[in-house]
Amino acid sequence: MTVAIHVNHLTRKFNDLVAVNDISFEIEQGEIFGLLGPNGAGKTTTLAMLSTMLKPTSGSATVNGMDIEHNEDGVRKSIGIVFQDQSLDEELTAWENMDFHGRLYRIPGDIRNQRITELLALVELGDRKDDIVKTFSGGMRRRLEIARGLLHRPAVLFLDEPTLGLDPQTRNHLWQYIATLNKEHGITIILTTHYMEEADRLCNRIAIIDHGKIIALDTPANLKDGIGGDVVTIKSSDPSAIVAALREPWVSRIEQHNGQVTISLQNAEQHVSTIVTLLNRDGIAIESISIHKPTLEDVFLSFTGKTIREEEADGKANMRMYHKMMRR
């Protein structure tokens, strides 16, 4: 397979804050590749470097065979970007936003008009082409931004938290568009997200990133299979006692976090009664117990000892520092 993006020991520092810490990976042409992690993990900084908006402190990367530092114009011409924050002109119509973008890329008028028509139809906005963007819903604006990012026929599309803040129905709608773009047009897509379901549903492979480092990289199925079997979650007022009581050979992994104990094991249904018996024997009260198949949240928890939500809560100070540095 042809490599669309090659990242080699990429690092970005903001004074004492290491936003991206020595990451390396490759993305194949036609792949949907996800960067999954909490806010402040380094996902957006990685995209900013790959799209030439931010220079790396060290390391290197190529996009479509072009170096991000030595061929910035070539990289920019071959990529499309949908930013986390909206970048549409709300006082212009959908058509005018698209037309302005096409003129920036010097797309000839007849070709530009044809592509705008095709892309607005693709994202089901053809009948709203003459409407002012400020009348659009959040989902409609996202679809328009994706259409605009495709106008110059990029080889790679960067999507930074593409469904952030959207309702579940609109989010599902956008997932369908992204999957269709990849399948029918062969566009390489790299997206950042902190939504587990989004990464699991869309991505061929996922790099889980935390505190600027890639802590795991594989297909969603392989990442979840690596947990091993089923997952039992027990909530109790004494989680440490549960950990001590369940050091059994049939337990693959047991971890304590945030007042809960997570246990990985094979054939959980066969062991639930044994778990309850052992805890009752030791006088440990169970507030709740649940069984489920491994999720990407379990994968993140197994590598970090925290959920993504807990990491986001802990990382608020770093996020404030990061945004302060990015504005400089």
Using pLDDT thresholds of 50, 70 and 90, give the confidence band for residue 323: low
> Dihedral (C-alpha) 81, 85, 88, 89: value to the nearest 10 degrees?
-150
Domain identity same for 218 and 233: no
Residue 88: give its domain's CATH number.
Answer: 3.40.50.300
- Give the type of residue at 166: L
- The pLDDT of 303-316, averaged and rounded, is 72
- The pLDDT of 177-181, averaged and rounded, is 87
Averaged pLDDT of the chain? 90
Domain annotation covers residue 87? yes
Domain identity same for 97 and 243: no
Domain annotation covers residue 318? no
Spatial neighbors of 320 by CB under 8 A, at least 6 apart, are none
DSSP strand E in the chain: where?
Answer: 3-14, 17-28, 32-36, 58-63, 66-67, 79-82, 156-160, 188-193, 205-210, 213-218, 230-235, 251-257, 260-265, 288-292
- Using the predicted structure, report yes or no on whether residue 212 has a pLDDT greater than 90: yes
Domain identity same for 66 and 211: yes
Q: What confidence score (pLDDT) does residue 314 get?
A: 58
- Using the predicted structure, report yes or no on whether residue 312 has a pLDDT greater than 80: no
Please tell me the total count of domains within the chain. Answer: 2
Residue of 103, 299, 289, 109 lying closest to 203 (CA atoms): 299
Residue 263: give its domain's CATH number.
Answer: 3.30.70.920
Q: What confidence score (pLDDT) does residue 328 get?
A: 52
Contact 152, 105 (CB under 8 A): yes
Output Rg (C-alpha) for the chain, integer angstroms.
Answer: 23
218: which strand partners? Answer: 206
pLDDT over 70 percentage in the chain: 95
Q: What confidence score (pLDDT) does residue 53 get?
A: 94
Domain annotation covers residue 18? yes
7: which strand partners? Answer: 25, 61
Domain identity same for 198 and 105: yes
Q: What confidence score (pLDDT) does residue 327 get?
A: 53
Q: What confidence score (pLDDT) does residue 208 get?
A: 95
Contact 264, 248 (CB under 8 A): no
Domain annotation covers residue 317? no
Last-in-domain residue among 223, 245, 266: 223
Domain identity same for 170 and 59: yes
Using pLDDT thresholds of 50, 70 and 90, give the confidence band for residue 115: very high
The domain containing residue 137 runs over which residues?
3-223
